[in-house]
Amino acid sequence: MKYVISFLAMPLSIFWILLITMFVLYFFKRRKSCFIFLCLSVFWLFFISTAVLSRYPVLLLEQKYEQLLEIPDSITNKETYILVLGSGHTCDTSLAVTNQLNLYALGRLCEGIRLHRQIPNSSIILSGYGDKEPVSHAEMLRLAAIEMGVNDSCIFTQTEAVNTKEEALHFKEVFNANSQLILVTDAIHLPRSCYLFRKAGLSPIPAPTNHLIKESGFQPFLNQFKFSSQNITSIERATYEYLGLLWAFISGG
């Protein structure tokens, strides 16, 4: 039921529901209602393909936590675990390991390695199960990290967790719950991740990366009305995170 509701609530799904309703009304010769739903579907597609709708819900999530650009002494002087949450990959032996990761996974891994190199007493925990791939995502991240110069002795993997809640519970079970933990994931995903980790009794230090909205200087107002499939992707991801937060609040997972 959770997945059905999530699917139907997605902005692009709403567009298709409006469009299909229009065709049904046309079939039953309800011309006036058909025209109304045609206008609604066109307006909705325009709305979700511009930054007018996508920008602010995304910013509300991404600006909750600042990126760890400078590591304070309170972190560097302690033994630290840097947990990089999994994303996805495709096993293709004709490509370098780093190129088999999707862009979100590569961005998370790079941020984890950047933090690891600034914190002397740190280890990296790479998370991700195999799904349908012959090699687990955590193992693929480990191979990529080694290829990028990380010492294998500083790397741990967790391959069983299939979602963020399980990743939190797995860390709590395997490592000391009082250990200093830095949590690395996409900026848009971090509010939900931190909520689930704190609900599991952990106190993660948030480390956002892969920001969807990046700006430099003045942005003209009319830029918000430019059509882009990236805007649709952004509002879809934001909707997914808000629904995930709601579900985590209601059901605890």
User: Is the pLDDT reported for residue 165 higher than 60?
Assistant: yes
Domain ranges, ordered by start, for the chain: 2-62+227-251, 73-209
10 Å Cβ neighbour count for 98? 18
Give per-residue pLDDT as tens, 189-240: 999 999 999 999 999 999 999 999 887 655 565 566 677 888 999 999 999 9
What's the rounded Cα separation, in Å, for the pair 98 and 109? 10
Using alpha carbons, select from 140, 120, 249, 131 the residue that is nearest to residue 196: 249
Q: Tokens for 220?
A: 């003209």
Mean model confidence pLDDT for the chain: 89
What Cα–Cα distance (Å) separates residue 129 from each residue in 22, 164, 171, 194, 203? 42, 12, 14, 20, 24
Distances (CA, A) of 211 to 31, 62, 95, 148, 158: 44, 7, 26, 22, 25
What is the CATH number that goes with domain 73-209?
3.40.50.620
The confidence score (pLDDT) of residue 29 equals 84
- Tokens at 245, concatenated: 């937060």
What are the beta bridge partners of residue 83?
Answer: 125, 183
pLDDT-derived band of residue 129, with 50, 70 and 90 as boundaries?
Answer: confident
* Contact call for residues 182 and 204 (beta carbons, < 8 A): yes
Q: Is pLDDT above 80 for 250?
A: yes
